[in-house]
Each structure stands twice: as structure tokens, then as C-alpha cells.
Amino acid sequence: MRSSSHSGDRAESPDCAQADKQNSDHCHSNNALYIVGTGPGSQAHMSGRALEVLGFVDIVVGYKTYLEIIAPVIRDKRTHATGMTREVDRVEAAIEAALNGQSCALVSGGDPGVYAMAGLALEILANRGIACNTGAENSLKIEVVPGIPALCAGAALLGAPLTHDFAAISLSDLLTPWDLIEKRMDAAALADFVIVIYNPKSKKRDWQLEKARDIILRHRPGNTPVGIVTGAMRENQRIQLCFLEGLHLMEVDMQSIVFIGNSSTFSCGNLMITPRGYSKKYAI
């Protein structure tokens, strides 16, 4: 952690050379790829660094829907948009732009390292042997700019469902075999983790969520609290509370995040709360 203190009369230089070199000099660079998390989408929930980067890059690359959500922020920018399942195309376009001497922002909704583009981009760069952040003249500058992940945005709207240990599991079997997803779901349920489900249902994948519910019911009672947040902090935001036994009857889609409580999670009004354990140690 950097200290906020400064010695005596020393003034902080505005020169980029004086900035923190550990992650970024926070200045515009050519041959640079910024992998930017835009959070839930609205400017109010984007980090200052994300807004800064989107303000100075030459081109913004991303999934069409995500670029539409942040349109007011990138109004005057050159963009490259692709559709669903075109992640590799997006990353390749972003890398090509950076290698051609441009500064490029590859955007992801939420956080770029949580079920998003950072892993794929860095994997492709590693597989191609492209030097990154070495300081050499031909090295590609890489910066991953964090954003508020969907599970944090959803949890904030529900109250405090993630105050204790939790596991995040995606139900999409496009890249992960379903039998492995089942094993992870069963293990998380058995270990009494709060479970956060990403990608719970789509038009083509309409049975996985009910199957996941059945797996969890092997280890938890039907009255376990469940929270469902769709379109967190967007115009289509919807919050639903139910019990595990009725989860399969709720309105859920690809923009939904499902929170399944552990053995101590409870509901209070329209809030979902998972105690950390303070009441066992203190009089509260």
C-alpha cells in the first residue's frame, strides 16, 4: 500500500516520471493495452482510473452491449464492437491496435478479471510470446483497471449476503464441462459456502439453474434464503427474494446474479444478511 504522507516541503511532481511505476504511470502511452472494468455500467459506478483511461485512449474495443451502456463516456471515441461469443475477436483486435502503436481500451462489464476479458487477453499474449511491461522499446504496456464486479453490485443491493465465505460459480457450460460445474456446486453446497451463481439461465440454457437448485437441496433446507439481482444498478434493475425450494419458479436471465445463503443467512424485510459470527463472541 502506498503511503499518503509526503516529506516536509517536497512537492509532488506532475511529471509522469515521478508517478508510481508499480502498475502504471497514469499517463497516456502508445503501444498500450488497458483492460478496463466498467462496473455495473453507469458513470457513477465507474472508477476514476477507468474514466481517465477511456478519456485518453485512441480506440475502445468491447462487446456491443457494454459499449452502448457506456456510450456517454466514449461518445467521441473510435470504437470496435463485436457480438456475443466473439471474445477472441475482440481481444485480437485490441492487441493489434496496441501493437500498431495505438493506445487501446478493451472493456469488460463488471471487473475484467472476474469471468471477463483480462484472463483471455493475457493468455493470448503469453501464448504468442509478446513481451509485456518489460520497459523495453518494443514491449507492450499492459494495465488491468479494476471495476465493481456484478457480485459486489448485487450484494450491495441485497444488503450483506457475502459477509462470510462464499463461492462464485458460473452455470455456463460453453467453456466448462457440465460435470465439472456439478462437482463444484456440490462441493460448495456441502462446505456451507454462500453460493453466487453467474450466467444462471439463457434462451438456450434453460435447465441448468433448476439442476443446480436440486444439487444444493441435497445439503440445505428448502427455506434457505435466496436473492436474485437482475441488471444491478442499471435501468432494468430488479431485485427478488425467495426460498431455495422455489428458485426454479423465479424470473431469471443472463443479466441475473443469484445469491444462495448458507446455514446462517437470514432475511430481514427486503434485506439478505449473512452473519460473520460476531454474535457468538460479542453481545450485539
pLDDT of 121-150, one tens digit each? 999 999 999 999 988 877 899 999 999 999
**Domain range enclosing 162:** 151-273
The CATH number of whichever domain residue 106 belongs to comes to 3.40.1010.10
In this structure, the answer to whether residues 144 and 155 fall within a common structural domain is no
Determine, yes or no, domain membership for 278.
Answer: no
Of the candidates 87, 119, 148, which is a domain's last residue?
148
Task: Indicate if 138 and 182 belong to the same structural domain.
Answer: no
pLDDT of the residue at 26: 57
Q: Give how many domains the chain has, as a whole number.
A: 2
| Angle at the Cα of 269 from the Cα atoms of 265 and 273, rounded to 5 degrees | 25
Provide the pLDDT for residue 37.
Answer: 97
43 in the same domain as 70:
yes
- CATH number, residue 233: 3.30.950.10
Residues 157 and 211 in one domain: yes
- Residues 181 and 273: their CA atoms lie apart, in Å, by 26
Below-50 pLDDT ranges, the chain: 1-25
Same domain, 33 and 103: yes
Residue pair 160/272 in contact by the 8 Å Cβ criterion? yes
Q: At what angle do helices 117-127 and 87-99 cross, to 10 degrees?
A: 60
Whole-prediction pTM: 0.87
Instruction: With respect to residue 92, please indicate whether it lies within any of the assigned structural domains.
Output: yes
Residue partners of 263: CB distance under 8 A and separation at least 6: 192, 220, 224
- Would you state the pLDDT for residue 84? 85
Query: Residues 173, 244, 277, CA angle at the centre, nearest 5°?
Result: 105
Domain for residue 195, yes or no? yes
Q: Which stretches within 35-116 are classed as H helix?
A: 48-56, 64-69, 87-99
Query: Are residues 174 and 261 located together in one domain of the fold?
Result: yes
Same domain for 238 and 175:
yes
Clarify whether residues 51 and 74 are in a common domain: yes
pLDDT digits (tens, 9 = 90+) for 59-97: 999 999 999 999 999 998 999 999 888 999 999 999 999
Residues 22 and 144 in one domain: yes
pLDDT of residue 139: 86
Q: Could you tell me the three cell numbers for 144?
A: 488491468
In a domain, 279, yes or no: no
